[in-house]
A = this chain, B = another copy of it.
């Protein structure tokens, strides 16, 4: 009997385990879920047929070796740094592998060995990276096949709260790892616009925005992602004059978030010893120039050059940065201290549903005409277990794992879903789960020579 081994039973595993257990029942194979906590693995399997829970510590090399040796496919949902441990064993025992994480340089270096072993190591099979690759490459290939020349590629993804549950002045709630949101953008961003390279330092990140409309969901603004340039090679768009990837937020979020950045509250480079009874008001004050008479609010407004009664100041006030509430930790970076406050304000409430918004914008010329394609996808969570994030991360990996088990792919080595044999069937199947892209296209007469 075939055996799929899932490493890690955390949040992102739920939907994947459900999918594979359902399929295993029909097609008679075993789904083994290994986690540090056997209870957690058991909970996720919930007594369903074909499932088996084991206690597994991936740093126990012997155990990892023997479990992988017995398997036909390994799906690693571990924190990214652990994938390599499993990958080496997969190569050794000629076992196919699937992950939802970015290909690390170490994993990339296994490509030749994986090919020699005759296995596929299917990576970046989540939402971002994952569904973004698949849906973008489907568009790009279609345009290229009909002879279009692409001049601009832009792509945006955002993890947000669904509109019905969007009830705070920021239009935002945490739907995934909160700390990643607080320190987003720290490494700066690189992209190219009309042939001009553009680099953005962290402190300007939330000021260099693009705004786009997505279906009937209104306007979203995007701040730039870390390295858009590397996508030129990944997507076969080496000489494209414009490439830009960004993160979507509701309009107005970035301008207010930028105030926290400018104040220094998102700093993560140094730790603060929090004095006893320090309030969030004191915490905010530590970033402001000393002034004997001005209120903390007045000093913030002065430093940021905004009116004390402005919408932005109201957003900061709503967060609680002026409150006399005691900081609940004794030590931490400003980002960690701010996070404690944000978690109280931005955590999903009972019944809230999350939402993934993705959009690609491509400009191309064909037969002397200028085309603009917009491809948009909005996926709303079913509940707080089968969230939109869990579905869009778990389903591509699950479908990928099933197809790998059934030897559906010819490709060997380290593969990401930018190739047709992977993205076509997976995008098709994702539709049945409501993960579907809507394409809109406009065509313009080419006016450049007329002017």
Chain A contacts to B: CB under 8 angstroms: 186-188, 190, 193-194, 196-204, 208, 227, 262-264, 267, 269-270, 272, 275, 282, 285-290, 334
Contact = CB atoms under 8 A, between A and B. Distances in A.
A89 to B, nearest CB: 33
Contact of A272 (B187, B190, B193, B201): B190
B190 A289 contact: no
Given A264-B201, A264-B204, A269 B196 contact: no
Contacts of A196: 282, 285-286, 290
Contacts of A263: 201
B270 A197 contact: no
A204 to B, nearest CB: 6
A56 B270 CA distance: 37
Complex copy number for this chain: 2
A272 B198 contact: no
A287 B200 contact: yes
Contacts of A262: 203-204
A188 B269 contact: yes
20 contacts: A187-B269, A188-B264, A188-B267, A188-B269, A188-B270, A193-B290, A196-B282, A196-B285, A196-B286, A197-B282, A197-B286, A198-B288, A200-B264, A200-B287, A201-B263, A201-B287, A202-B203, A202-B269, A203-B264, A204-B262
Return the 5 tightest CB-CB contacts between A and B, nearest first: A201-B264, A203-B203, A197-B286, A193-B290, A201-B267
Contacts of A186: 269
Nearest to A263: B201
Contacts of A285: 196
Given A203-B203, A262-B203, A286 B198 contact: yes
A295 to B, nearest CB: 14
A275 B197 contact: yes
A200 to B, nearest CB: 7
A208 B263 CA distance: 12
A287 B208 CA distance: 11
A208 B289 CA distance: 7
Contacts of A193: 290
A267 B186 CA distance: 11
Nearest to A199: B286
A341 to B, nearest CB: 16
Contact of A187 (B199, B270, B282): B270
Contacts of A334: 199
